[in-house]
Amino acid sequence: MEQSEQDVATSTQLPKPQVQATASPDTFDTGTHIFDVDKVSCYYSSFRAVTDVSLKIHENEITAFIGPSGCGKTTVLRTLNRMNDLIPGAHVEGDIRYRGASLYAKEVSPIAVRRRIGMVFQKPNPFPKSIYDNVAYGPRINGERNKAKLNEIVERSLRGAALWDEVKDRLKASGLGLSGGQAQRLCIARTLAVEPDVVLMDEPCSALDPIATGAIEDLMKEIKSRYTIVIVTHNMQQATRVSDRTAFYSVLRNEESDTRTGVLVEYGRTQQIFEDPHDPRTQAYVTGRMG
């Protein structure tokens, strides 16, 4: 283990392991684990936002996090690429392994982590630059200066995000001039441009109309053969439409001390979570009786 932690800290290019043969749909815990989350609790200063979450995220699958507001879905998602480091006072207990390497080991650089584990945010956040520069931003900060290569990356990423045909004639126009759905696809293209291993999506469609949502969902299904996707969503239909596995989180209230914290209630294949939930809280949520 010492060895693999060292790898994350020092090497910039972690080799992607071979994709294993597709697991049979009946076996739950097969395939390569991208993330192995082990008894993780997240704190904002002294407030414990999430308690004791353990789950495994599988390669080349879409994993959905669902649950009511304030249950810690986004917090867990943001611990997966150390985005929560940016919030003063936020810290994590427990262990998260990414391809066997502990993400929160002392010598791990959050920069190196985020280069492999990209993120798309709830609100589209294109930079105040041209469309081209938005997509080329990631490759450029990673040292790519070759014009032809950048052009190729930009085109490939925009095609990958199903945006190329709409913007190919105005690559020099501002990224802020795009509609909400286009801007979100631009942000996805920007994330794909650095060729991440994992794409984390924090409610990527909550600000979009159904058509733009559909486009992004199609896109997710299309790219999951090359990427592992974890998505937080408030929309249960979306989870059933796109995800292979679903984790249901809920809020646990402690009446005595009047505190609340997020917990992972149930994690399983999406079909099982929605059609045959084992936990009564999951059942209440997915049937719309709660939350």
Contact residues for another protein, defined by CB under 8 A: 81, 83, 86, 88, 111-112, 114-116, 118-119, 121, 123, 125-130, 137-138, 141-142, 174-177, 187, 190-191, 194
Q: Which is nearer to another protein, 61 or 133 (CB)?
A: 133
Element (H, E) at 237: helix 236-242
Q: Which is nearer to another protein, 184 or 282 (CB)?
A: 184
Q: Which is nearer to another protein, 198 or 263 (CB)?
A: 198
Residue 44 tokens read as 């904002």
Question: At closest approach, how far in Å is the CB of 125 from another protein?
Answer: 4
CA neighbor of 173 nearest in space, from 126, 111, 115, 117 = 126
Q: How far apart are CA 25 and CA 52, in angstroms?
A: 27
Question: At closest approach, how far in Å is the CB of 108 from another protein?
Answer: 13
Q: Which is nearer to another protein, 66 or 187 (CB)?
A: 187
Angstrom distances, CA of residue 251 to CA of 14, 48, 93, 254, 279 = 36, 12, 19, 10, 14
Q: Is 260 exposed, middle or buried (0-12, 13-18, 19+ CB in 10 A)?
A: middle
Q: How far apart are CA 117 and CA 32, in angstroms?
A: 16
Question: At closest approach, how far in Å is the CB of 198 from another protein?
Answer: 11
Question: At closest approach, how far in Å is the CB of 24 from another protein?
Answer: 35
Residue 27 tokens read as 């076996």
Q: Which is nearer to another protein, 127 or 164 (CB)?
A: 127
Question: At closest approach, how far in Å is the CB of 88 from another protein?
Answer: 6
Q: How far apart are CA 42 and CA 164, in angstroms?
A: 39
Question: At closest approach, how far in Å is the CB of 156 from another protein?
Answer: 16
Question: At closest approach, how far in Å is the CB of 251 from another protein?
Answer: 25
The distance from CA 259 to its chain's CA centroid, rounded to whole angstroms, is 28
The distance from CA 114 to its chain's CA centroid, rounded to whole angstroms, is 11
- For β-strands 47-58 and 33-44, DSSP reports them as antiparallel
Place of tokens 């009946």: 26
Element (H, E) at 235: none
Amino acid at 214: G
Q: Which is nearer to another protein, 72 or 124 (CB)?
A: 124
Q: Which is nearer to another protein, 57 or 83 (CB)?
A: 83
